[in-house]
């Protein structure tokens, strides 16, 4: 990670844009939308900027005093020497600075933005490829409709009320997940906020019945994140605890919630972190604490009847929680080419057996 993703509150703050062309006009426009006061400095400034409300225009070459009282600065000229001067002087004053298309001179970068206010999504390649980030934004435009702004505003309106009624942070997160993934969200997106509010109030009245501990079995397949099912991805983002083994690739583990607790239970030759029986007990114990537990298993966890064994263990422990399965579909074998697939599994501490070479032939 080359840059720390943050959202900067610039409402009512003075921001500097050095440059008066088309690029500077776009940057000034973004700052104005965020509620900033904008100072534009350039020998020539676009008339549209001069006439825009909330913009202080100074027709002059950039000078040090233009940084006075500034919270952040953006250099958007076509002269690198000027951009470099802005960057150096701003950094000397500990002012955050962005230089358009020159990441080396930046202390922050301007991402591509998907605006569904109050929901905001920002994309960045760290300055490596602005075109790619805009392409990604275009893809998500179709996945996150404009009316999601209405859903975000609805959640914001009831945030304090829900926090007052549901004081446990874990239960509160589960409450909101149930609301925003269910009928309440559907009503809001359809424009029927009155019905949505009534349903939310009913959910608060039944706060003691919020779904508690659950266990998800997710097969990580051969390690390629692209082979995960959509359901697996959804459950990976919901889990409070992630229990994973040695066969799960790092990219897949990193796709789980960043704030989730991660417990490694991998097995290597002569080194079993936890026996299978203890792993099953661990899953039950965590679920009984009201946590959503993800058992992330390399390959397909239903292989060799593993899911069946786990289900029986779950029932024996009489847990009040639920067991979910999100499994990869095993690739089918081509029937015209594969008639029989013998598998031999052998183990030898000395790793030497005269029969192995014969079988291989």
**What is the pTM for the complete model shown?**
0.60
Q: pLDDT tens digits for 292-306? A: 899 888 877 665 445
Q: How far apart are CA 343 and CA 292, in angstroms?
A: 36
* Sequence-ordered list of residues with C-beta below 8 angstroms from that of 173, at least 6 positions apart, any chain: none
Q: Kindly state the helix (H) or strand (E) to which residue 171 belongs, with its residue range.
A: helix 169-180
Please tell me which residue in 27, 238, 240, 245 is annotated as part of the active site. Answer: 245
Whether residue 69 lies in the annotated active site: no
Whether residue 250 lies in the annotated active site: no
Output the pLDDT for position 320: 44
Output the pLDDT for position 316: 57
Mean pLDDT of 94-111: 93
Three-class secondary structure of residue 107 per DSSP: coil
Strands (E) across the chain are located at: 14-18, 37-42, 55-59, 72-75, 96-99, 112-116, 119-123, 214-219, 241-244, 261-264, 267-268, 271-272, 292-297, 322-326
Output the pLDDT for position 144: 82
Please tell me which residue in 13, 171, 267, 288 is annotated as part of the active site. Answer: 267
- Do the Cβ atoms of 115 and 101 come closer than 8 Å? no
């Amino acid at each position: 990670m080359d840059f720390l993703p943050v959202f900067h509150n610039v409402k009512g703050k003075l921001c500097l844009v050095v440059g008066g062309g088309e690029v500077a006009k776009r940057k000034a426009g973004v700052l104005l939308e965020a509620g900033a006061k904008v100072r534009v400095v350039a020998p020539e400034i676009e008339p549209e900027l001069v006439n825009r409300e909330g913009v202080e225009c100074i027709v002059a070459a950039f000078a040090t005093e233009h940084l006075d009282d500034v919270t952040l600065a953006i250099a958007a000229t076509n002269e690198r020497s000027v951009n470099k001067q802005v960057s150096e002087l701003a950094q000397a004053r500990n002012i955050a600075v962005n230089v358009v298309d020159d990441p080396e001179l930046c202390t922050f970068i301007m991402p591509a933005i998907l605006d569904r206010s109050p929901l905001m999504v920002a994309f960045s390649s760290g300055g490596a490829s602005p075109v790619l980030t805009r392409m990604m934004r275009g893809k998500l435009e179709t996945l996150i409709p404009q009316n999601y702004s209405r859903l975000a505003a609805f959640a914001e309106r009831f945030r304090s009320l829900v926090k007052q009624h549901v004081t446990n942070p874990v239960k509160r997160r589960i409450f909101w997940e149930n609301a925003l993934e269910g009928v309440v969200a559907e009503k809001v997106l359809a424009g029927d906020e009155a019905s949505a509010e009534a349903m939310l109030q009913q959910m608060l009245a039944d706060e003691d019945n919020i779904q508690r501990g659950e266990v998800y079995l997710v097969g990580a397949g051969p390690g390629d994140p692209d082979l995960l099912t959509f359901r697996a991805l959804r459950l990976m983002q919901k889990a409070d605890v992630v229990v994973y083994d040695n066969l799960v690739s790092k990219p897949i583990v990193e796709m789980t919630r960043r704030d989730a607790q991660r417990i490694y239970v991998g097995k290597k030759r002569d080194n079993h972190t936890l026996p299978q029986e203890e792993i099953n007990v661990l899953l039950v114990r965590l679920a009984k604490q009201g946590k959503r537990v993800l058992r992330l298993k390399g390959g397909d966890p239903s292989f060799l009847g593993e899911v069946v064994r786990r289900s029986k263990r779950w029932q024996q422990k009489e847990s009040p929680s639920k067991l979910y399965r999100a499994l990869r579909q095993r690739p089918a074998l081509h029937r015209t080419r594969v008639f029989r697939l013998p598998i031999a599994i052998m183990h030898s501490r000395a790793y030497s057996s005269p029969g192995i070479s014969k079988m291989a032939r």
